[in-house]
């Protein structure tokens, strides 16, 4: 399907039918950006084109087109492979319309209760305030032909107006408006707080224009601007350094806690921090188009979604409507008072579902963002709170992801430096921990690393490249054996490496084993504490997965006290295990960081991408950690569980208040105004308390 529209060395533009590309553009961009050698990808869904800039020394045009065809087939066959399942969506409100309704109902309530307004005018004002409710009820009866909470509320307001309880009717409309405004306001402030992760509105940056440096609000930056970033400042854009050099803390993008040196020609990312030096960065992507911004944009879009618990609660409340009507009739008969029946009518469980649940879930999203935890919508919060099984990827997640090469073993007459040089060429341009370890060793030995002329990646296994006319394979034993390379000469050295928990990487040249690189990774300092904390939270199981050999995997699992661990797992094996755990009735969280974790992250009930996760991993995940260690996984679970506790508390308060209304009104001890204050007032008050807790995180802390 892809048609080449324009091609020069290092740059390619392909076209698709716009209707096909539009829903798949984001997934294609993310997957292409993860391909070794691809520098930038820009999709234009309206025109049906994708522009790709790549390193011609590392990647050939034909390889890109083959990748596009593979991705095309994958997205057609498995449309949800790297996108989360569609969730029930609610309308995406802004706070303006609910605010106007709140102002209107407040005015009517004040006029009804405090001003000497003629009775006819009072009736008109109250009816005007009730119009939105009457319209909702009419629409429900016309379209769904059933009775629900909107119909009950409209009936209650109608009875109150007919009985001339104008103050009660105005109070009921006002409390409904307060609840709707609270939800809309919570959605708006949550979205706004998320934007501050990318572009704080009160922050200015220095921009070089016409040879001069001038301050400019970060929100006014556009692609092509050259931004000056000094020590202690955050990089506000994804871009390329065009001047200067600095030490940059890139933990939010690469997971490495130590700052790395960046100079002219290197790429830097938004939400990273310059710790020393000064750089000038040409902006390639700004705001919500940056890597972090695209995550934020996803969460903003999901902020108005309804969680399953809210949908269930609303349905349950609708089922209670007929019972409420029956109780109202029985209460009126028992007390021989229409007033008592009217008081019972206001016992509505729907307000708690519409207001209390979204307020609690959105507040938890906002609080999580303040801890550098981005949760993609209320549905993700709900699933996170239910998690009872946590699956960790090993490399880069439980380990530091920064292994060191502790031993170099050459075979067949090749010297160590030549072996390291060829291995570094095979891994050139990759962000995988092994590739970085080889590059560090080559740099330490001052070796000149050649660029490969062609490369093919087998995710989770190894690299197949051409270097200086030779075919070089670098990867696992399985990878070399699948390419008909005999590795028996390395059998003893491989066993010795496994015995100390190290992982060997094999290198072959022109079909013959050339050497072995022994890599030693170490556990994160907080890995054991995180496992203990999860167990303290009564997880059914904590599991470790690895693509490495079983022996080093076993050594690390035992040091963490994990009984369940699996080695030599390919990406599809990880996804399969997650499916099997879900089939057993478990709610599974998958924690990972790499391209080879993306399928499992998408398959899990909750995918969690740790700091520095690959773009494809953050795209597939439901929770993205921008900073910190594995303690953030535990913190995310705690925040989600706290939000569900808040939901249950609000629903419990509403249930008890409504039960009290029915009981008191049945014996003639509660009038309509008192019943409304007890039922709706208590529910709205509980939601206001929950929202106030969210304001404890007044400003979203910038990742550092």
Active site residues: 393
**Are 627 and 435 in contact, with CB atoms under 8 Å apart?**
no
- Beta strand 512-520 with 503-509 is antiparallel
- Beta strand 11-15 with 260-262 is unpaired
**CA distance linking residue 600 with residue 287, whole number of Å:** 29
**CA distance linking residue 366 with residue 370, whole number of Å:** 7
The alpha helices in 457-548, defined as continuous H runs, are 477-482, 491-499, 527-536
Write out the two tokens for 277. Answer: 């030096």
| SS3 (DSSP) at 116 | coil
Task: Write phi, then psi, for 384 (nearest 5 degrees).
Answer: -60, -40
CA distances from 228 to 259, 269, 602 (A): 18, 14, 38
CA distances from 357 to 90, 113, 175, 371, 647 (A): 13, 31, 16, 22, 5
142: buried, middle or exposed (CB in 10 Å: 19+, 13-18, 0-12)?
exposed
Buried b (16+ CB within 10 A) or exposed e, 580-597: ebeeeebbbbbbbbbbbb
In the numeric block, the tokens 């303006």 are attached to 96
The rounded Cα 502 to chain-centroid distance in angstroms is: 33
| SS3 (DSSP) at 518 | strand
**CA distance linking residue 202 with residue 46, whole number of Å:** 33
Candidates 34, 431, 366, 355; CA nearest to 177 is 355
Q: Which secondary structure element, helix H or strand E, spans residue 7, and what is its range?
A: strand 3-8
Write out the two tokens for 57. Answer: 């020394």
Write out the two tokens for 475. Answer: 């990867």
Q: Which secondary structure element, helix H or strand E, spans residue 653, and what is its range?
A: helix 631-666
The rounded Cα 36 to chain-centroid distance in angstroms is: 24
Contact partners, residue 516, CB within 8 Å, separation at least 6:
407, 408, 409, 411, 490, 493, 494, 497, 504, 505, 506, 507
CA distances from 40 to 46, 291, 432, 499 (A): 19, 11, 18, 42
Q: Is the dihedral of CA 524, 529, 535, 537 positive or negative?
A: negative
**Are 182 and 363 in contact, with CB atoms under 8 Å apart?**
no
Q: Taking each helix axis as running N to C, give the angle between helix 96-114 and helix 119-143, from 0 to 180 degrees, rounded to the nearest 10.
A: 140
Hey, how many other C-beta atoms are within 10 angstroms of the C-beta on 234? 20
Half-sphere exposure of 266 (CA within 13 A, CB side): 16
Write out the two tokens for 450. Answer: 């050649």
**Are 374 and 194 in contact, with CB atoms under 8 Å apart?**
yes
| SS3 (DSSP) at 280 | strand
**Are 183 and 93 in contact, with CB atoms under 8 Å apart?**
yes
Write out the two tokens for 329. Answer: 């009739």
Write out the two tokens for 465. Answer: 């490249």
| SS3 (DSSP) at 21 | helix
**Are 274 and 231 in contact, with CB atoms under 8 Å apart?**
yes
Tell me 219's DSSP state.
Answer: G
Hey, how many other C-beta atoms are within 10 angstroms of the C-beta on 394? 27
Write out the two tokens for 627. Answer: 């900073």
């Amino acid at each position: 399907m892809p048609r080449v529209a324009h091609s020069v060395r290092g740059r390619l533009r392909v076209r698709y039918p716009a209707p096909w590309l539009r829903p798949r553009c984001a997934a294609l961009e993310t997957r292409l950006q993860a391909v070794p050698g691809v520098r930038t990808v820009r999709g234009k869904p309206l025109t049906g084109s994708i522009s790709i800039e790549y390193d011609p020394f590392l990647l050939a045009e034909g390889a890109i087109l083959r990748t596009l065809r593979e991705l095309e087939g994958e997205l057609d066959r498995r449309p949800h492979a790297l996108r989360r399942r569609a969730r029930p969506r609610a309308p995406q409100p802004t706070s303006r319309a609910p605010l106007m309704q709140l102002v209107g109902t407040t005015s009517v309530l004040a006029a009804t209760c405090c001003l000497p307004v003629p009775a006819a005018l009072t009736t008109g004002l109250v009816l005007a305030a009730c119009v939105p409710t009457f319209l909702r009820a009419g629409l429900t009866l016309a379209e769904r032909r059933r009775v629900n909470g909107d119909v009950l509320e409209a009936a209650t307001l109608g009875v109150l107006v007919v009985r001339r309880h104008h103050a009660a009717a105005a109070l009921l409309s006002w409390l409904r408006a307060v609840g709707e405004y609270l939800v809309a306001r919570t959605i708006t402030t949550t979205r706004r707080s998320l934007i501050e992760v990318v572009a704080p509105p009160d922050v200015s940056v220095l921009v070089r224009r016409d040879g001069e440096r001038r301050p400019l609000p970060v929100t006014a930056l556009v692609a092509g601007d050259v931004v000056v970033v000094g020590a202690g400042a955050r990089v506000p854009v994804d871009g390329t350094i065009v001047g200067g050099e600095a030490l940059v803390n890139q933990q939010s993008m690469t997971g490495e806690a130590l700052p790395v040196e960046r100079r002219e020609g290197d790429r830097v990312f938004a939400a990273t921090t310059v710790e020393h030096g000064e750089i000038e960065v040409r902006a390639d992507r700004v705001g919500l188009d940056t890597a972090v911004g695209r995550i934020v944009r996803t969460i903003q879009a999901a902020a108005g979604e309804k969680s399953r618990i809210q949908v269930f609660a609303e349905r349950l409340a609708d089922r209670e409507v007929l019972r409420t009507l029956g109780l109202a009739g029985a209460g009126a008969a028992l007390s021989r008072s229409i007033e008592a029946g009217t008081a019972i009518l206001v016992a509505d469980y729907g307000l708690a579902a519409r207001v209390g649940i979204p307020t609690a879930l959105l507040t938890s999203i906002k609080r999580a963002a303040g801890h550098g935890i981005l949760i993609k919508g209320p549905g993700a919060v709900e699933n996170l709170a239910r998690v009872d099984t946590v699956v960790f990827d090993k490399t880069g997640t439980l380990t530091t992801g920064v292994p060191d090469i502790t031993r170099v073993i050459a075979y067949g007459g090749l010297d160590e430096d030549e072996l390291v040089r060829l291995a570094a060429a095979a891994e050139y341009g990759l962000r995988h921990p092994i590739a970085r370890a080889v590059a560090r060793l080559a740099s330490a030995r001052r070796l000149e690393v050649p660029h490969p002329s062609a490369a093919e990646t087998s995710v989770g296994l190894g690299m197949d490249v051409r270097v200086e006319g030779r075919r070089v394979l670098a990867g696992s034993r399985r990878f070399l054996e699948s390419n008909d390379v005999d590795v028996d000469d390395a059998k003893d050295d491989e066993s010795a490496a496994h015995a100390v928990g190290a992982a060997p990487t094999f290198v072959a040249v022109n079909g013959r084993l050339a050497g072995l690189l022994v890599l030693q990774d170490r556990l994160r300092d907080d890995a054991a504490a995180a496992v203990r904390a999860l167990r303290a939270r009564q997880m059914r199981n904590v599991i470790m997965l690895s693509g490495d050999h079983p022996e080093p995997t076993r050594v690390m699992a035992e040091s963490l006290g994990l009984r369940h661990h699996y080695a030599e797992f390919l990406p599809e094996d990880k996804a399969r295990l997650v499916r099997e755990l879900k089939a057993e009735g478990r709610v599974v969280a998958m924690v990972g960081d790499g391209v080879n974790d993306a399928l499992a992250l998408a398959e899990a009930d909750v995918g969690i991408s740790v700091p520095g996760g690959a773009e494809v991993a953050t795209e597939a995940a439901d929770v993205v950690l921008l900073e910190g260690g594995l303690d953030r996984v535990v913190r995310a679970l705690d925040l989600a569980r706290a939000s569900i506790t808040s939901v249950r508390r609000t629903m419990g308060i509403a249930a008890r208040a409504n039960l009290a209304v029915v009981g008191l009104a049945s014996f003639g001890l509660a009038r309509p105004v008192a019943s409304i204050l007890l039922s709706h007032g208590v529910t709205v008050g509980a939601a206001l308390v929950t929202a106030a807790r969210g304001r404890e995180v007044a400003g979203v802390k910038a990742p550092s």
